[in-house]
Amino acid sequence: MKEQIVSIEVAKMAKEIGFNWGTTSHYKGEKLINNGVPYNLNNKRVQRKWKIEMTSAPTQSLLQKYYREKHNILVNIVPVGNNNNELKYYYYTIYGVDTKGGVHNINRFLTYEKALEEGLRKCGEYILTQQVQIKQNN
């Protein structure tokens, strides 16, 4: 099974939040590049040295782990079946210290990866909102 890379929108949001773990895939503009060597290309010093503007493109599971370990937020994907135990769809929930019991979505996704991508996007939006509020209060 191949790991799913996050979309460029989610990758840019993660970069803005401060994601700085090494990844083997990167976005240069809209183009996805996989060089197989883990770099932290969200580091501005590295970008100046190489004279490039790139965004690290983590896998969905790596970004999910980053949010869990660095921001204490869990993005959980829930499969839903019918009475015959046939899988029908997935949805996501987001749990964390400041999410007051979790953020649930009402959307249904046909694949685990689509549900996780949307959950990671919503988690990123939540973290960015929290960062803005903290800056405004200081």
Q: In terms of residue numbers, what domain contains 74?
A: 8-137
Domain tally for the chain?
1
Examine the pLDDT at 104 and tell me if it is beyond 60. yes
Q: Is residue 102 part of a domain?
A: yes
Q: Is residue 22 part of a domain?
A: yes
- Residue 26 main-chain phi, psi, to 5 deg: -145, 155
**Residues 43, 99 contacting (CB under 8 angstroms):** no
Return all residues near 103 (Cβ < 8 A) that are at least 6 apart: 93, 94, 95, 122, 126
Query: Rounded to whole angstroms, how far apart are CA atoms 69 and 64?
Result: 9
Query: Rounded to whole angstroms, how far apart are CA atoms 41 and 54?
Result: 6
Q: Is residue 88 part of a domain?
A: yes
Q: Is residue 3 part of a domain?
A: no
Examine the pLDDT at 99 and tell me if it is beyond 60. no
pLDDT score recorded for residue 102: 60
Q: Residue 131: helix, strand or coil by DSSP? A: helix
Q: Is residue 1 part of a domain?
A: no
pLDDT tens digit string along 37-87? 666 666 667 666 665 678 899 999 999 999 999 999 999 998 998 888 888
- pLDDT category at 119 given cuts 50, 70, 90 is very high
Query: Rounded to whole angstroms, how far apart are CA atoms 102 and 42?
Result: 29
